[in-house]
Structure 1
Amino acid sequence: MNIPYEKNQKDRVPFEMYKKMFAEADAAFLSSVSGVPYEEETGLFMVTLMDKRYSVHHPDFVVECLDEDGTYAPLLTDIETKILIIRYLLESRKAAFKGGFYAYADMPWGNHYNQVFQGRCVKRLAFTFGFQMDKFCRVMESVGGKKIPVGDAGYEFAFLDDLRLQFVLWEGDEEFPPSAQILFSDNFSSAFQAEDMAAVGDISIGTLKTLAKSI
């Protein structure tokens, strides 16, 4: 399938095209290949995104958040997130997490896109939270993040099902700007293309920024 992903692709590649592909696909086959749980009786896929559980109905891609606690549910509101999830259901290949983490540049195609990823995601993370480390820690814990002994503040968390991220920050001061690192679990490359993984950075950082407003 391998349809190119772009941040503003909702204008170039309509979301309705992905919905049509999803509707025409065999749901049981998608589940068997991707490993995403599917209930044939109800027509529901089950995914967990940023510590929230969702059902995704086949064939019409109707999404419902199963954790109605009043906090931010990005899959319900954001077109970029919906495109990422529908591509995940259509294209991902199940792969177990083996415990390793890799930088974007370490992926097979990473060097071709790394400069863009650094500006679009890594620097954005650094300058969003690099001068407010306490808020970073609180917002990471609010999405189930577990502290790791890296940087001035580092957390590992589940982005989507068993696909995990590590966000690491080094605090900025009057002399030096903040810096950051984003690492992907070793099963990410079985689920997403390079362009999708840039969207993963956008979505995760955007979710944290939204949550931080209420912390």
Structure 2
Amino acid sequence: MESNYRIAYNKGWQDLKQKDPEEVSQYMQVTYLPEVQQFIVPMFNENYIVDIQHETIARQADGKTPEMEAAILLLHYLSFFQYQAEPANKWVSLKEIPNGGILFYPAFRKTPIQSLINTFGNRPEFLVTCAARLGGQAAKFGDAAAVFQVFPKIPLCAVVWEGDEEVAANATILYDPSIAHFLHIESIIGVGWHLAQRLVKLAAREQS
């Protein structure tokens, strides 16, 4: 697994270096500093510095290096697009994302979505509490929901329905369909997985 991540990470740098940085800045709504060959990329409620010359990524606030999965998502966000596109301002399930969403949905349901059900299904209001730590804003879906600006052009929505004795708890992660222009299907899944992981970790931290 580590080698697969490393391959994706290295390819992300190669792909980014093939892009026109000014076009990346304009199309993906990030800041480019040509004098130091760096992008400043908002991810959730933090900024990351992506240094093309030195192939490094660091959180602007404290210089901390993000986990490999997050670093790959940052690189893919900057490098995947083929043309300028804008969010559609609507929500769809992963099953409705082209190029494989419906095929990957069962595995997506089994792990990241199930982790949301296990963590928030009996207390959906706790989702909103944890979401606020990531800049998430409460939304009117299910019994609790929050919308996150993962990247400037990539919103996600996490939704939870509370369970009871008769009906099992449920959850979902919704995407703006425009995400297909900004990430390939593996990273579309990855960004949803990353959101679920962060929410579950925040919940564990709040409880400890």
TM-score range, shorter chain: 0.7 to 0.9
1:151 maps to 2:142: yes
Question: Is the 1:24–1:59 contact (alpha carbons within 8 Å) kept by the matching residues of 2?
Answer: no
When the two chains are superposed, the root-mean-square deviation of aligned CA atoms in Å is: 2.5
Q: Per-residue deviation at 1:103?
A: 0.9
Q: CA 1:62–1:136 in structure 2 vs 1: closer, same or farther (change >3 Å)? A: same
Q: Aligned partners of 1:152 and 1:61: how far apart in 2? A: 43
Q: Aligned partners of 2:3 and 2:94: how far apart in 1? A: 26
Q: Aligned partners of 1:13 and 1:65: how far apart in 2? A: 20
Q: Per-residue deviation at 1:19?
A: 5.8
Q: Aligned partners of 1:13 and 1:208: how far apart in 2? A: 22
Please list, as runs of the form range in 1=range in 2, the aligned pairs for 1:137-148 lying within 5 A after superposition: 137-148=128-139
Indicate which of 159, 164, 167 corresponds to 2:158: 167
Q: Aligned partners of 1:76 and 1:129: how far apart in 2? A: 29
1:213 maps to 2:193: no
Tell me the equivalent position of 2:10.
17
Please list, as runs of the form range in 1=range in 2, the aligned pairs for 1:1-215 lying within 5 A after superposition: 8=1, 10-12=2-4, 14-15=6-7, 17-18=10-11, 21=14, 24-26=17-19, 27-32=21-26, 34-68=28-62, 76-92=65-81, 93-109=83-99, 110-215=101-206
Identity of aligned residues (%): 22
Question: Is the 1:38–1:46 contact (alpha carbons within 8 Å) kept by the matching residues of 2?
Answer: yes
Q: Per-residue deviation at 1:55?
A: 1.3
Q: CA 1:25–1:34 in structure 2 vs 1: closer, same or farther (change >3 Å)? A: same
Cα deviation per residue 1:58-83 (whole Å; 9 max; x = unaligned)? 12232222234xxxx9x833111111
Q: Aligned partners of 1:21 and 1:186: how far apart in 2? A: 27
Q: Per-residue deviation at 1:106?
A: 1.0
Question: After the TM superposition, which of the residue ranges 96-105 and 173-182 deviates more from structure 2?
Answer: 173-182
Q: Per-residue deviation at 1:168?
A: 0.6
Q: CA 1:60–1:127 in structure 2 vs 1: closer, same or farther (change >3 Å)? A: same
Normalised by the size of structure 2, how large is the TM-score?
Answer: 0.84
Normalised by the size of structure 1, how large is the TM-score?
Answer: 0.81
- Between the two proteins, the alignment pairs up a number of residues equal to 202
Q: CA 1:63–1:213 in structure 2 vs 1: closer, same or farther (change >3 Å)? A: same
Question: Is the 1:94–1:191 contact (alpha carbons within 8 Å) kept by the matching residues of 2?
Answer: no
Q: Aligned partners of 2:105 and 2:80: how far apart in 1? A: 22
Q: CA 1:19–1:103 in structure 2 vs 1: closer, same or farther (change >3 Å)? A: closer
- Give ranges in structure 2 of 5+ residues lacking alignment: none
Equivalent position SS for 1:164: strand
Equivalent position SS for 2:112: helix
Cα deviation per residue 1:179-213 (whole Å; 9 max; x = unaligned)? 01211123211111111111112211111222223
Q: Per-residue deviation at 1:35?
A: 4.4
Q: CA 1:49–1:23 in structure 2 vs 1: closer, same or farther (change >3 Å)? A: closer
